[in-house]
Amino acid sequence: MSVNQRIKPITTEIKENLTIGGCDTLELVKKYGSPLYVIDELTLRTICREYIDAFKNYPNITVLYASKALATSAIFKIVTSEGLGLDVVSGGEIYTAYKAGIPMDKLMFNGNNKQEWELETAVDVGVGRFSVDNFNDINLLGKITESRNKMVEVLLRITPGIDCHTHEYIQTGHLDSKFGFDLTQIDEAVSLILSKYPKISIRGLHAHIGSQIFDSAGYVDEAKILVSELVRINKKYNLSMDELNLGGGLGVKYTENDTPPDVKDIAEIVINTLNQEFDKNKLKDIKLYIEPGRSIISTSGVTLYTVGAIKQVPKGTKYVSVDGGMADNPRPAMYQAEYVCDVANKMNFEDKEIVTIAGRYCESGDILIKDILLPKLQAGDVICVYNTGAYNYSMASNYNRVQKIGMVLVNNSQSDIIVYRETLDDLISHDNIPDRLN
């Protein structure tokens, strides 16, 4: 079983209370406050190693952590120390990696509307690869590389026409997406670069077919399309592209209903498909990238909350409100994402009831978990919501003018802050009162 097939961090233990990374979760709340994001370092390092190990039979691969799932300096340090590179999508993610001392050649810069200053920064600091998404990207990069007299190496992002939720392969190769070049536009993109921008070196092709994927079929179709396009374009334009980026998207287990595949099994299917396609086309030495985000970081993360108000609607739902919610985890409100939790200080309680865990924010939709069977709750109990490592902190907001919560890293019974909780002064630090209002 790989880490992405688990709901809880691998170090989760039940002692007197729920323990993660050897740390008592109630002690963590006492020490660092509530709510609190907790990242289990061993779980994170384990999934990084599982990815590297699963693809070790492929001679030339770089696993890029898709930073947007959770981008902080310490997380970048950990994943790069395990041999991963970083897939980044903004000047902010590049800056975070730069300041953390991550070698810039380990970065791949993605995004459908990269800003001119972001591309300039990326060229100046020497980001390793650019995934060129559209004609605007090409023209901006062309201009920047000319003015700086500097080469860049790019992959062209294509939309291969795979709908990964239905695994429907749209025969025309046309998919209504804001990302990447439609298969009917890719030749025009290549021609533009070759005719106008000699400092853009086209190294290969990139695609990303979706997220929270449970089935390998989409990756197989994607690999076939990428190889056939690479061969076709190389031949037509006399190029020697030799790199493929298959993107990310592997699913995780938020609840018992989720059945993500083992990383090893996916790797084997992808490598076999690629090797068959390479043999058919007499291709050799193709460099491969993959970009998992969610499946790297999700399971390592949990969020601890403290119970406050409890409301029993007469003949209706029992709402248990916690001190966080949609501002620290927008996923349930945004797309009905489901989570499970434990009561950290009542792990051995038998007396249970069905409750709904509500957030503290002023939206009826701010419900973290609907109808879950839990030990009977009281104010002051601590709830641990699992699998919150990905797309929680990275999508957090200050809604209702509430301070963003902090994050600690746990390992071997040790805990360290990796993101400080915001203060009230942080909240007003960007405010300005024009003189005439005083």
Which residues are at the interface with ligand PLP (CB under 6 A)? 66, 68-69, 87, 110, 208, 211, 247-250, 291-295
Closest separation in Å from C-beta 176 to ligand PLP: 17
Dihedral sign (CA 370, 373, 379, 381): negative
Residues in the chain: 438
Closest separation in Å from C-beta 90 to ligand PLP: 12
* Residue 40 neighbours by CB under 8 Å, 6+ apart: 9, 10, 11, 20, 21, 300, 301, 302, 410, 411
Q: Are 393 and 387 in contact (CB under 8 A)?
A: no
CB-nearer residue toward ligand PLP: 69 or 193: 69
CB-nearer residue toward ligand PLP: 266 or 402: 266
- Number of other CB atoms surrounding residue 318 within 10 Å: 15
227/280 Cα distance (integer angstroms) = 10
Q: Is 318 helix (H, G, I), strand (E, B) or coil?
A: strand
Measured CA angle at 384 (ends 369, 305), to 5 deg:
85
CB-nearer residue toward ligand PLP: 69 or 233: 69
Closest separation in Å from C-beta 426 to ligand PLP: 28
CA 95 distance to own-chain centroid: 18
**One of 23, 48, 362, 384 is an active-site residue; which one?**
362
Distances (CA, A) of 144 to 31, 100, 179, 213, 399: 49, 25, 22, 37, 38
Q: Is 158 helix (H, G, I), strand (E, B) or coil?
A: strand
Closest separation in Å from C-beta 295 to ligand PLP: 6
- Number of other CB atoms surrounding residue 369 within 10 Å: 21
CB-nearer residue toward ligand PLP: 87 or 221: 87
Closest separation in Å from C-beta 69 to ligand PLP: 5
Residue 48 falls in the annotated catalytic set:
no
CB-nearer residue toward ligand PLP: 23 or 202: 202
Residues forming the active site: 362
